[in-house]
Each structure stands twice: as C-alpha cells, then as structure tokens.
Structure 1
Amino acid sequence: MTERPIDLSNYPSSQAAKRPVLSLRKFALMASVAAGLGAAVYGFGPSHGPIDVFTSTAHAQVHNEVRKVAQPVGFADIVERVKPSVISVKVAMGDKTAKDDSADKDDAPFQPGSPMERFFRRFGGPDGLPPGFRGGPRGGRGPATGQGSGFFISSDGYAVTNNHVVDGADKVEVTTDDGKTYSAKVIGTDPRTDLALIKVSGRTDFPFAKLSDGKPRIGDWVLAVGNPFGLGGTVTAGIVSASGRDIGNGPYDDFIQIDAPVNKGNSGGPAFDVSGEVMGVNTAIYSPSGGNVGIAFSIPASTVKSVVAQLKDKGTVSRGWIGVQIQPVTDDIADSLGMKKAEGALVAEPQANGPAAKAGIQSGDVITGVNGAPVKDAKELARTIGGMAPGNAVKLNVLHKGQEKVINLTLGQLPNTLEAKAAFDKDSGKSSRGADVPKLGMTVAPANSVAGAGKEGVVVTEVDPKSAAAERGFKEGDVILEVGGKSVASADDVREAISAARSDNKNSVLMRIKSGGSSRFVAVPLAKG
C-alpha cells in the first residue's frame, strides 16, 4: 500500500517546512496504541510553533502507561522487607595446633565416614569442605575459621543456621544487615538435618523472618539471601527446580532443589518465597568446581519448624525409633517376595531388644503402612517414624511371608550414637579361597573359618567382576546370612537354596547380606538351566 503524507495545508508554510512528515500508517499505529491504553488522543491543529509529538501530553501519557506494562516484575520490595532479618555468621574453632605434622590430617568439620563428610567429599570442592568453611593449613596448625549465613526467627535474637557452620565452634559472631556485630551462643544443633539454633542477646527488636506454612511448588520463584564468599547481604533469584531430593546425606533427606545462585558462605541462609516467607534453609550445593552451577539444596521450612522447636525447648532433637535396618523394595525384591508392587520398606535386620524385635518383626518383613497410611518407600518410613515423638503408640502394616498383619508397638527414642562397625580382616579372608557358587560368579567360605567375620553365614572371598554378583554390588568380605529365607553356613547351603528357588520357577533369589556392620537384602537373578 502506498503511504500518503499528512495534509499540512492548514499549517503556516513557514512551519510546514519544519514539521516531520508522518505516514498515515505510523500515525494510525500511534493512535491505536494510545486508544488501547485508554489514553486521550489530541488532534493536530494550527499552531504557532513546531509540535514535538514525543513530548506532547498525549504521548507522555502513553509512554507512562507503556512503561508500567513493559517493565519486568522485580523483587526489590520483597528484598527490602526481608533482607534485614538475614545475618552473616562467623565462627572460630580455637587453636587447632596439631600434636604432629601428619600430612593426612585436616580441619574438616565432620567425623570421617559420617554422612555429611561423605556428601561433601562427593559434592563439595576439591578439599571436600562444605560451603563457607575455611580450615587451617593441613596438619591442623593455627586457628580454623568458618563463615556462613543465617536469619533471625524472633525479635529477641533466636536465629537459624546450619549445624556444619557452627559445629565445634568456640566463638560465634553474627553481623546484621546494618553492619553491627554481636556475639552469639549455640543453643542446640541437629547433625541429622544439619540445622542449628543460635541466640543473640541484648536486644528485643531484631527484624525477623517467618517460616512458611505452605509447601513450595516446582516452578515457584525463590530468593536466596546470604553471605557468599564473605560478601554479606547478597541476593540471588531463581526457581524451585525439584522437591523431595535425596542427596545421600541420611534417612531424613527431603531437600528442595533450587537454581538461585548459591555459593560457599550461603550455608544456613534463607530461601524466601515471593510472600517474603522462608521456604527453606540453604545447606548444600552440587558443584564439581566449588562454585555455583545452578543446583542448590534447601531444608524445607516444615522440617526447620519441627527441629527448631525442639532445639529451643531442650537443646536436642528426639525422634521416634522402631529399631530396624530398612531398605527400598526394588522390582527384583518384590518379585522374589511375591509382591505385586515394589513399595514399602524391607526390614533387613531388626535390632536386638529394639521395639520392632520385641513386637515380633523379623528380617524379610515389609512394612507397608503406619497408622493406616501407606508407606511408599524406606525413606518415607524413616521420615514418618522420625517425625513422631518417642513413647507414641503406632500400628504398623506388615507383610510377613506373604501374609498381611498389623503389629502394635511403642516407639523408642532414636539413639544419638552409631554402633561400632565390625571390620573384616581381608588378609584372613584371602587365605581361604572358599568354594565356588555356580553361575553367581563368587566363592564363599564359612564365616567361622574367617577371622573377624563372625559365626553366622558364609563370607564372600572372591567375586568375578563380570558376574551377576558383581553387578549386584557383592564384594570381598560381605557375609551372606540367608538365601531364599533360609540361613546358610556353607557353600552347599547356598547351592541348595538356589536350587530350591529355581524349582519354584523364581527369576531371582533374595539374599540377606551383612556388609560393613549393616545388613541388607539383595535380589540376585538366577541363570536359566
């Protein structure tokens, strides 16, 4: 379509020469934008001077309306409201002068072999330390310091941070958003959830944050505020990437995964929702390099509430306990037990004199429900029982040798110390090669013939790396206690149990093994023929 110039005959000729020529198309477009925004449109009429349409009243109104619509939503109002509640936490571990110069020691904040130590060795930086931790030189010489984040949960100075930030600290200091520094006291810690409660005294007007009552949805906005690399008061934004994450830290793993940039020093800081409430406490990052890669993990507010309430009340956390080692029910295990679905928690071993053992629960039983509510898997059972108070009476739905039954028991208190693990003398194990177990790819010997292996079961003395046993995780030193529900004490017992399973047309046989002081069931596929 040919564009026609606007008729300027009504304008004085001296002004017409100065006036820009607007096509009808451009003018119509401008008019339609103005009309669409509800703006008044003024006509062009005779004038004694040049009209600048870009500063006219009509265009100014249009410009203001467009600016309101086009401007992206920001978080400044939320940040202004919540940022004062966030604190930087600095700790001193005291004089860590080592008694010797052994090069294989360091100032890592976790006990060797502990769940948190294993997690950070796997997901932390090259030194395996958690975000925000800075240890002294190798060999332990000199003081060790750490830094992290936290936030007030009450006006009288109670604040939440991570256990690994303050664990073992001789001195804790917090710096508020206005730059003031205060001494803090550790009220209580909970290593199992990596939470700690600290207290700052001297004021009753601290700005504080509220823990959310709701559960975040995947895709919700999230704001992380904290002290990355010592740069206090840093705000980053992202979304909730996933929920219910299990990162291998322990049976109570139920992390929120977020993609808001979180780095070393953010540990213990809050993750806010768009209502300005704390949806979680940032505790760990997945980072091959030690820096942000967009995967961070937060402890849900619901967990924080429960733990903090107990820490404030008595300084420790008490959890319900039934006294069993449990594991997931895999498809192979479900097939071996004749279950239609792979669900519930398989009891690998009840602890002697524990509530479950006293109530009659046995190895091989599957716990499928608690107080009538179904149990999806072993993690859910651990969280459900752990969320109950010791002394509570519960009803467990149990599948025992194919029969469903209900067992009543009273919860004990989860012990705070781990049992010592028996060690296997590999040299002794290798001295007795054992007897072959056909088509499984391993050799076994009676446990009572191998030093350190105990008196029950048979010890795995050799595993073919290309065998079915190796694929299922068997290794030298494992002790096989049961095969197909029958106790075994020799290679012949193992062979007979496998033959019986084949005779029953089973695709796999369930074995109960002891490894590193704990028991578990393994479904091993049976070769045909």
Structure 2
Amino acid sequence: MMRMLRHFSLWMLLAVTLMAWQGAMARELPDFTELVEEAAPGVVNISTTRMVQSRNPFQGFGGEEVPEIFRHFFGDRFPVPPGHGAGKPHERQSLGSGFIISDDGYIMTNAHVVDGADEILVRLNDRRELPAELVGSDERTDVAVLKVNSDDLPTLRLGDSDDLKVGEWVAAIGSPFGFDHSVTAGIVSAIDRTLPRDAYVPFIQTDVAINPGNSGGPLFNLEGEVVGINSQIFTRSGGFMGLSFAIPINVAMDVADQLRNDGEVRRGWLGVMIQPVSRDLAESFGMDDPRGALIADLDPDGPAAAGGLQAGDIILEVDGARVDDSSTLPRLIGRTAPGSDVELELMRDGKRRSLEITLGDWPESGRGTADKGHDSQQARLGIAVTELDVAERKRLGIEGGVRIASVDPSGAAAAAGVQAGDILVSIDHQAITDASQLVSLARELPTDRAVPVRLYRDGRSLFVALRLTGD
C-alpha cells in the first residue's frame, strides 16, 4: 500500500511539474492580439487590373514557337486555326497588400504588385474601396508608393529595422490568396540577406508564412511597429516553404521619401565591377581574412577611375562602415547621395591605404521613377529601355545593346516573349548600339511580317519573333 502511495505521489509531482512547465512556456510565447487590433486598420488590400493581349495557344511550347512534333510536318510555318491568332485584349486582375504611411492617403507596397497596372483599387479595413494613383516605383528595391484621395486615415507606426535581431518574434498582416487581413507570425531567421539581382536590399529573412497576396504587406515587431515590407518567398511549390524575405523599412522609407519628394530615386555610383574575395585570393593579396570587395574592372568614365581606384584594389571600408563581403559594397554606395565624397579604406599591393572618391549619379537603368510616358517609338514596340554602361557591356561580352526596363503586357514585345531585364542586342538583323538608334530603327520596322529579335538573357542568347500590328 505504501509503495502504491509513493508511486502515486511521484506521478502527481511529475504532472504538477509538467503543468508548471507548460504554463511557463505559454507565458513566454508572444500574444499578438493587441498588435493586430491596433495595426489592422492601417493595412490595406490592393487589387490591380491591366489589359493583356491573348497569346496564340499554339505558341510558346518549351520556349519555342512551334512544338517539334508539329515542326516535323509543317516546318516553322505552323498553320494557326481560325480564331486562334492574336486574341482581343482582356482584363487581368491581381491581388496584393499594402499599408498606410500618412493620414492624407500615401500607401506603401511592392513595385511588382502594381507593375503594369491600368487601374489600382485599395480596400481599407472598414471595407471602403478607393481608387489609387501610382506616385512612383523603384524596381531595384521593389518599393512603390500609392496615393488615395482621403483624409484622417489610420496609419502604422514605423520602427527601426537596423535594431532587428535574429531570433526576434515578428508578425505579418496581409491578403494571402485574397483572404484579407490574415495574420501570420514567426521569427527573424537572418538579416542582411542578399538575393540574386537584388544587390541593393539587405533582406530580412523570416519563417513567417507568406504566400501570394501577402506581397507589399507590413512585417511587425512585437511593439507593433513596421520593420519591413514582405516582398519575396523561396518556393518550389508556388506556396510557402519556410523562407520569406522582407525589405527593411529603413531602406523602403528612404526610397519612398525620394519618390514622394523628387519623383525619382537617385543612388550613388562608383563605376566598378566587383567580385568576392575567396580565402585563396585573400592570401594572394597579403590579407589575413577573406573580406571586402575586389575590383575586377572599372568603367573608364566612372567616378572610381577618375578618383584613382584600380583593378585589383580590395575595398574594405566605406566611410568607416566595414565591407564584409562584395554584396555589402553596392548597398553602402547606393544609399549615399550622388555628389557625396566617401572615404574608402582599401588594400593595394599588400598595404592598406585611404582614398577619397566623389560618387557619381547611378545611370538611368538604376533609377526608380514616377509614372511617366515612354518614347513613342519604344511604345510602339511595347517596351522601355535604358542604356548599358561600358563595364556592363564588357562583363556580358557584347559591344552594344540596351536593357529592357519594362514591358507593356499588351504590347508586341510581350506577345513575342520579351521580358524586363533582357538585353536587346539586335532587331531584324540590325545591331542595337544605343537607345536613340533603337528609336530610329523602330520607325522603319515592317508591319506585314515578323522580324527576328536577338536577346541576351540569363547568360545566353536567344531569338524571338516580333510582329507589329501598326504604327
């Protein structure tokens, strides 16, 4: 009997201990209810509408115009059945999120949420729907600013993203798959992440569940302050897989302020091509640690060349800020105003030295702009283009070409498969040297036949067929 009582007492002790531990754990987990009640009114749903041109359903198989099985019988002249040519324009709608940053109607979201939109509609937490105008957008940071005509709107408090720490709790409010004001939570998984083609954004990586429709929505800290804009996910399924990325609010607000005040985003420009410093390279340059940004090449007309930088220099600091790896340098330079003098600490010939450089203005291809019309001849093609600098052409191994900055989704270029970011090398067998030459060439393109267009994309060349329907 005594033995049974001892066993019972032991089990009771264990149960009480377990309950106490569970209670302590529950007290440690954050409660987001107050945060959501306070912040939800400042979060909005963004829906966009744009006109797109129907594609020929018998084109586009595997990146080729005609499937091989049909090419065997018909060659390159595949007969298009009646009614299956270029279709009529139709509306395409998409959804995203955003948040109000001023009570007079300014709203922050992602640039890709409103890219190419003909109409933008903002739905508030109280179910009001307001038309919005695009104030400006910046593709490099994926930040856009909208404006609605309304006063006394609920705004969100902005935090300091530089204070974020790995492991800190964060929450998101947005419209995944159109489900308005959905709340998800997690922790900061990493900071200062660099993603391909996003050298100017030190992303906040989280494990917060982010899905299509969350883009442009706010990321909160436990104080209810916005510390980021949810922008991207890593996925192989099209949905959440545990890796989400947000634009730090400090970066986003710098861009937003420039768009609101100046109508464009200006960034400092050094004019160098850089590469990482491996351990072997560090040893060969007489360095103890593999850090910094190694200058592989310079634009001969850029600020770096004018200021005395040389290929082979390794930049270690910019105005006292450490350059831990090559991805750090574009951020430090890009957030510095053009015309500013920066003090560079560098390694040259095994010795440290300092050099002062006056930064230039980043070429037009890097600027975000307010909504403006494009040149009429570029509009005829359905594209907007920017110039390539000498260093970029050298890196790509091409002599001419222009970069496609944006593509009109209802234009001829989009129908041909041209994408933003492509390098346009030639049209109708004529090499493209610069934007002005492209304008002249566009005037002469025929409308009675398709013309070959050579592009450079993701390290390889490809041809697409462009067909204009008229002037």
TM class, shorter-length: 0.5 to 0.7
Distance 1:213 1:4, change over 3 A: closer
- Which residue number corresponds to residue 524 of structure 1? none
Q: SS of the residue aligned with 2:131?
A: strand
Instruction: Please say if 1:81 is aligned against 2:38.
Output: yes
Distance 1:360 1:212, change over 3 A: closer
Q: Is the 8 A contact 2:166 2:190 kept in 1?
A: yes
Q: SS of the residue aligned with 1:347?
A: strand
1:366-406 per-position Cα deviation (integer Å, ceiling 9, x unaligned): 11222244322211111111111111111212323334332
Tell me how far 1:202 sits from its aligned partner: 2.4
Give me the CA root mean square deviation: 3.6
Distance 1:342 1:516, change over 3 A: farther
Instruction: Please say if 1:232 is aligned against 2:180.
Output: yes
1:24-63 correspondence to structure 2 within 5 Å = none
1:445-487 per-position Cα deviation (integer Å, ceiling 9, x unaligned): xxxxxxx9xxxxxxxxxxxxxxxxxxxxxxxxxxxxxxxxxxx
Q: Is the 8 A contact 2:338 2:359 kept in 1?
A: yes
Tell me how far 1:250 sits from its aligned partner: 2.2
Q: Is the 8 A contact 1:105 1:138 kept in 2?
A: no
Q: Percent identity?
A: 39
- Which residue number corresponds to residue 194 of structure 1? 142
Q: SS of the residue aligned with 2:364?
A: coil
Partner amino acid, structure 2, of 1:171:
E
Alpha-carbon distance in structure 2 between the residues aligned to 1:212 and 1:396: 27
Alpha-carbon distance in structure 1 between the residues aligned to 2:242 and 2:262: 37
Q: Is the 8 A contact 1:174 1:181 kept in 2?
A: yes
Higher strand share: 2
Larger relative contact order (Cα-Cα within 8 Å, sequence gap ≥ 6): 2
Instruction: Please say if 1:219 is aligned against 2:175.
Output: no
Q: SS of the residue aligned with 1:96?
A: strand
Structure 2 unmatched ranges of 5 or more: 17-21, 63-84, 366-385, 399-430, 432-458, 462-471
Of 368, 371, 376, 2:319 maps to 371
1:411-490 correspondence to structure 2 within 5 Å = 411-417=359-365, 419-420=387-388, 421=393
Distance 1:338 1:151, change over 3 A: same
1:162-177 correspondence to structure 2 within 5 Å = 162-177=110-125
Query: TM-score scaled by structure 1?
Result: 0.59
- Which residue number corresponds to residue 288 of structure 1? 236
Of residues 142-151 and 269-278 in structure 1, the stretch that sits farther from structure 2 once superposed is 142-151
Q: Is the 8 A contact 2:156 2:225 kept in 1?
A: no
Distance 1:301 1:424, change over 3 A: closer
Structure 1 unmatched ranges of 5 or more: 6-24, 34-65, 107-136, 426-451, 453-514, 518-529
Distance 1:335 1:143, change over 3 A: same
Alpha-carbon distance in structure 2 between the residues aligned to 1:352 and 1:140: 49
- Which residue number corresponds to residue 251 of structure 2? 303
- Which residue number corresponds to residue 112 of structure 1? none
Tell me how far 1:100 sits from its aligned partner: 6.4
- Which residue number corresponds to residue 92 of structure 1? 49
Instruction: Please say if 1:203 is aligned against 2:151.
Output: yes
Alpha-carbon distance in structure 1 between the residues aligned to 2:26 and 2:311: 64
Query: TM-score scaled by structure 2?
Result: 0.66
Tell which structure's C-alpha radius of gyration is larger. 1
Partner amino acid, structure 1, of 2:257:
A
Of 161, 170, 184, 2:109 maps to 161
Of residues 96-105 and 253-262 in structure 1, the stretch that sits farther from structure 2 once superposed is 96-105
Tell me how far 1:86 sits from its aligned partner: 0.5
Alpha-carbon distance in structure 1 between the residues aligned to 2:113 and 2:172: 17
- Which residue number corresponds to residue 272 of structure 2? 324
Tell me how far 1:73 sits from its aligned partner: 4.8
